[in-house]
Amino acid sequence: MADSRTQKARPRVLIVLAVVAAAAIAIDQFTKFLVVSNLELGEVVPVVGDLIQFRFVKNSGAAFSIGNAYTWIFSILAAAVTVVIIWFARRIRSLAWAWVFGLLLGGTIGNLIDRLFREPGFGVGHVIDFLTIPLLPAIFNVADVCISGAMVLFLILTLRGVGLDGTRGEKPAVSSEAEPEAGAEPEAAPGADPLAEPEKS
């Protein structure tokens, strides 16, 4: 019965993963399109006062502008992560984990698209970053937010012991044939007289 439910849940889980990933990619690329179309490079636009701002920059490094000198390495890693997530998806049976891998896949592909198809060239393209919180040193984008969200969900599910199939780790059942406590009288053998004295050698 459990296997039957698992098999029925698999298509729904894969659909959720695909929809989450597609939505993340679409929102990420659309917001980058708006930024490139409406802002000048380096321009700063307050969104929520000084708390959240738009600041158009081109990032040749990893998420949050880390490692600017290794663009092609991050492109290869992003492509590898994408392949691994797609391959790993067949093991997922939990909707919560589908969100984790959907956000991670969408965020990874969102930035990979920039690296592959934006200037200065294929595989070394600069990622469009535009979200900034003055209290933080980083400038990021929607794809970075999706990746960070996936990591937070990953930690929550891991700490709660939720497996990829949606089940939680259970404590092993106590054996019905428990060991006799120290000092307890041994049970009499079947058919033996409980009042009979033990034989002396």
Using CA atoms, how far residue 14 sits from 49, 89, 97, 119, 148, in Å, is 40, 7, 10, 34, 21
Residues whose CB is less than 8 angstroms from the CB of residue 69 and which lie 6 or more positions away in sequence, other chains included: 60, 61
The yes-or-no answer on residue 129 being catalytic is yes
**For residues 27 and 23, what is the distance between their CA atoms, to the nearest angstrom?**
6
The yes-or-no answer on residue 144 being catalytic is yes
Show the CA angle centred on residue 90, arms to residues 79 and 150, nearest 5°.
Answer: 60
Q: Which of 28, 50, 114, 144 is catalytic?
A: 144
**For residues 101 and 21, what is the distance between their CA atoms, to the nearest angstrom?**
8
Show the CA angle centred on residue 77, arms to residues 161 and 138, nearest 5°.
Answer: 80
**For residues 139 and 74, what is the distance between their CA atoms, to the nearest angstrom?**
17
Q: Which of 3, 50, 114, 129 is catalytic?
A: 129
8 A C-beta contact, residue 57 and residue 139? yes
User: Which amino acid, one-letter code, is at 143?
Assistant: A
Catalytically active residues, by annotation: 129, 144
